[in-house]
Amino acid sequence: MPSEPSHIELRTSPHMRDTANVAMIMRNVVYALLPVCAYSVYQFGVSALALLVVCTIVCVGTEQLFCALSGKQSTTGDWSAVITGLLLALTLPPAFPLWMAAVAAFFGLAVGKLFFGGIGYNVMNPALVGRAFAQAAFTVPMTTWTPAMAPGRFTEFIPSTLTRPFMTPAPVNEWLGRVAADGFTGATPLALMKFEQVSTDAVQLLTGSVMGSAGETSALLIFLCGLYLIFRKMMNWRITFSILLSAYLLSGLFYLINPDVYPDPMFTILAGGLMLGAVFMATDMVASPETNRGIWIYGALIGVLTVIIRLFGGLNEGVMYAILLGNAASPLITRISQPRIHGATRKETTAS
Amino acid sequence: MSSGLITKLNPARLFRPTFSHGVHPEENKHFTSGKPIERHAFPPELNLLLSQNAGKPSVPIVHAGQEVVRGEPIARADGFMSVPLHAPATGVIKRIDLVPTAKGPRKPAIILKVYPGESQEILYGAPRDVDSMSPGEIIQAIQDAGLVGLGGAAFPTHVKLSPPPEHKVDTILINGCECEPYLTTDHRIMIEQADDLVRGTQIIMRAMGAERAIIGTEDNKPDAARTLSRALPADGSISVKMVRTKYPQGAEKMLAKALVNREIPSGNYPSSVGMGVFNVATTSQIGALIPWRRGVIERVVTVTGAGIEKRGNFLVPIGTPLRFILERLGYKGSAKYLIMGGPMMGDTVASLDVPITKGCGGIVVFRPEDLQQRNGEGELPCISCGKCVDACPMHLNPCQLGKLARKGRYLEMDEYHLFDCFECGCCHYVCPSGIPLVQYFRISKLMNRELKAAGK
């Protein structure tokens, strides 16, 4: 007679599970970010590489430290801190001093995520919290842009990168004089547009041969990386789509009113951080609404806010604040966008 | 695996009707779908639970030491929400005692000692002319046959056949979806008992006064659809329709949506939108038993899972203890989880003495490595990814419900339609954080009811 099982155990249904878990999803987001990182290193050289490495190490280290301090099992294995580090580095100017980047990374992860209770409890995207902190604390370095494809970028740091902690960064003028072509203004396409009404060619924006943060310059590459995540069903395409669509429509409206002052809609969605924000930042699952109805509202809100800040605000870039505001609003959006249940009667629909 | 892939790649499936949301677990039906139904041996003793069904348990009409013939009634229905019980084998009543059940608590059962060496060929019953019976007589006959939903819910069939008078039923849906992975009971029944199935469908149509019936099956069972099409009556009153393979297509609300595009209102029966929904195993039994005044004494059970050596579909007498079946079919040493029902909604049992009941269509034996448990990970915080919201076939918000359940805010869960959840398990299936949402909701329903009772 065959032997009986040594002991049988109880568990609750369902007894089958999908294979995608949190760590796997987060790891795939990292994979999707790697080409963008590689391209930024290709464009900006060792300074961009150093930024990526420092931000990632500080983010993972911060999470490790907080887990140790609070006596919890380490949560760094879920890869989400790595995403925060990479994303933060990609939103910083390539010449940003490393010590400032480290402070921003620490602040973003500690205040933006761990103070709230770690993964799943953060209200806003931690990388953007870090960037917002840097924008407020280190205004000048945050707006100092350096040219892409500088000669010698793989052998030599941009002088400001290696600023000693708590010191003001060295001026980059002398270095710029050596590497930049004549007539270099240090202005991003968005700044050119805002202050001088000079538009930049769409092809240049797509391929990324323009000024900007380390990772926000090639809209096309970012979009392709996003497609990978959508294909793996690890990202909600509705977020990206609704942001781009609403930004396109609103700026298109202004463009129709006065094409001399306002940028054309293609420029709006390709320039600056909108593509990076729409693909990798606003899609932070924790900080976006749960329901698809809510996602449309959330995406439209971010797209509209971005355009309004860019066109009428004091800043030439508004993606970061638009997403942070969208994050803040998303619990409210979730609340008002509950799905209509199967078999709902009229009474129930109005009651909820 | 390969058959599943072919189904998925077939462009025709995109045009097949379905419902929105749901999930696609690995089907794993190929292990048993090709195996004909085989009669399983009679065990030395049958444990016949008095409570085989939703509703009230039956009342014994036999005493210890009494001899019974196979098919003879041994317990009577206790009111309308109850059905009688019949002896699955010729033997002698040993005693009435408590036995373990799949849900956990021990419950009263009639213990029947089967005569060893008895051929079990004699069967209680006598033919009758169904065509001359009135709808009321048919419904009474169905209650007398001890019929309950054999798809798993075990709801008394005659109750479903007796809708409130203001509900006019025009369409009967016969549910042959069998969306639970691994199980092939309904699949084999549609192939091997097509004539009984059609006969049963006609009896149900007569009883409810419906003009048409649709037999719905998932498109992973094209052979069943073909066989049934050949057995249909010429008058065109019954049709066979394939729906897209997706879990939980076999839930009656999902099937109604896919086949006739009707939404059963929240908290209501299918009859409120003019339908009756019956499982193929139940229907086939109606066709087989009613013309012979017989009762339910056995059922088809798929025994499968990587933890069992001889997988297959078996005709098992009601009351057969799990131990007897598993010992004859052979466990593998590391088999640890015995699931009665399917792997998405079935219960694991704590004892090998749990008997087969009328609602049990499958036994799935899993080893720990078959569970895809993602070792040692446990439950992580919800990351609000919304996968559960996209999976829930009832369009609930399991994410929000789960958060409320965790905080113990059970009464607020009414706002999010807690009681519309039928525990299909899609939300837990997709959850990347491994949150046991369905279990949360089971507990929440209990607590919610208790809190309301206490508040009144």
DSSP class per residue in B393-454? TT---HHHHHHHHHTT-TGGGGGGTGGG-----HHHHH-TT---HHHHHHHHHHHHHHHHHH
Averaged over successive runs of 10 residues, the pLDDT of chain B (456 residues) comes to 54 83 92 93 94 91 93 93 94 93 90 87 84 92 94 90 92 94 95 95 94 94 93 92 93 93 90 94 95 93 92 95 91 82 91 91 88 64 91 94 94 93 94 92 95 85
Note the pLDDT of residue A158: 81
Note the pLDDT of residue B8: 60
Segments making up each domain of chain B, as ranges = 2-30+127-292, 40-124+298-372, 387-455
Note the pLDDT of residue B395: 94
| Contacting residues of A for B337, CB less than 8 Å apart | 8-9, 11, 15
Q: Which CATH number fits domain B40-124+298-372: 3.10.20.600, 3.40.50.1100, 3.10.20.30, 3.30.1360.120?
A: 3.10.20.600
Note the pLDDT of residue A2: 44
pLDDT tens digits along A169-222: 777 777 777 666 555 556 677 777 766 666 677 767 766 666 667 667 688 889
What DSSP line would sit under B236-279, residue for residue?
S-EEEEEE---BTTTSHHHHHHHHH--PPPTT--GGGGTEEEEE
Grade residue A263 by pLDDT with cuts at 50, 70 and 90: confident
**Measured distance CA(A224)–CA(A247) in Å, rounded:** 19
Grade residue A294 by pLDDT with cuts at 50, 70 and 90: very high
DSSP A13: S
**Average pLDDT value for residue range A14-21:** 86
* Chain B touched by A73 (CB under 8 Å): no
* Chain B touched by A343 (CB under 8 Å): yes
- Residue entry with tokens 């953060």: A122
Alpha carbon of B361 to those of B249, B251, B273: distances in Å?
17, 15, 28
Q: Taking the mean position of all CA atoms in its chain, how far away is CA B193?
A: 17
pLDDT tens digits along A139-170: 888 888 777 777 778 887 887 888 778 777 77
Residues in chain B: 456
What percent of chain A clears pLDDT 90, i.e. is strictly above it? 45
Note the pLDDT of residue A260: 82
| Contacting residues of A for B246, CB less than 8 Å apart | none
| Contacting residues of A for B396, CB less than 8 Å apart | 339, 341
Note the pLDDT of residue A325: 95
| Contacting residues of B for A291, CB less than 8 Å apart | 386, 389, 397
A120:B438 CB<8 A = no
Rg over CA atoms, chain A: 22
pLDDT tens digits along A55-80: 999 999 999 999 999 888 888 888 99
In chain A, which ranges are E strands?
Answer: none
- Residue entry with tokens 């213990």: B111
Assess whether pLDDT exceeds 50 at residue A348: no
What DSSP line would sit under A208-261, residue for residue?
T-S--STTSS-HHHHHHHHHHHHHTT-S-HHHHHHHHHHHHHHHHHHHHH-TTT
Average pLDDT, chain A: 85
What is the ipTM score, two decimals? 0.85
Give residues 213 to 252 of A whose Cβ lies within 8 Å of B.
236
Q: How far is B334 from chain A (nearest CA, A)?
A: 7
A2:B331 CB<8 A = yes
Grade residue A352 by pLDDT with cuts at 50, 70 and 90: very low
For chain B, the straight-line distance linking the first and the last C-alpha, in angstroms and rounded, comes to: 53
Q: What's A75-118 look like in SS3? A: CHHHCHHHHHHHHHHHHCCCCCCHHHHHHHHHHHHHHHCHHHCC
Q: How far is A281 from chain B (nearest CA, A)?
A: 14
pLDDT tens digits along A296-347: 999 999 999 999 998 888 777 789 999 999 999 999 999 899 988 988 865 4
- Give the SS3 label for residue A185: coil
Note the pLDDT of residue A318: 84
* Chain B touched by A170 (CB under 8 Å): no
Mutating which of A4, A11, A12, A16 best tests the B interface, going by the most B Cβ atoms within 10 A?
A16
How many other CB atoms are there within 10 angstroms of residue A305's CB atom? 24
Note the pLDDT of residue B58: 94
**Measured distance CA(A150)–CA(B73) in Å, rounded:** 92
| Contacting residues of A for B373, CB less than 8 Å apart | 17
A121:B381 CB<8 A = yes
Q: Based on the number of CB atoms within 10 Å of its own CB, is A258 exposed (0-12), middle (13-18) or buried (19 or more)?
A: exposed
Note the pLDDT of residue A180: 62
| Contacting residues of A for B339, CB less than 8 Å apart | 13, 15
Mutating which of B182, B417, B442 best tests the A interface, going by the most A Cβ atoms within 10 A?
B417
Assess whether pLDDT exceeds 80 at residue A33: yes
**Measured distance CA(B20)–CA(B253) in Å, rounded:** 12
Q: In the numeric block, which tokens belong to residue B95? A: 């005693």
| B49, β-bridge pairs | B109
- Determine the residue type at B44: P
Q: Which CATH number fits domain B2-30+127-292: 3.40.50.10490, 3.40.50.970, 3.40.50.11540, 3.10.129.10?
A: 3.40.50.11540
Note the pLDDT of residue A187: 67
CB contact at 8 A, A218 and A270? no
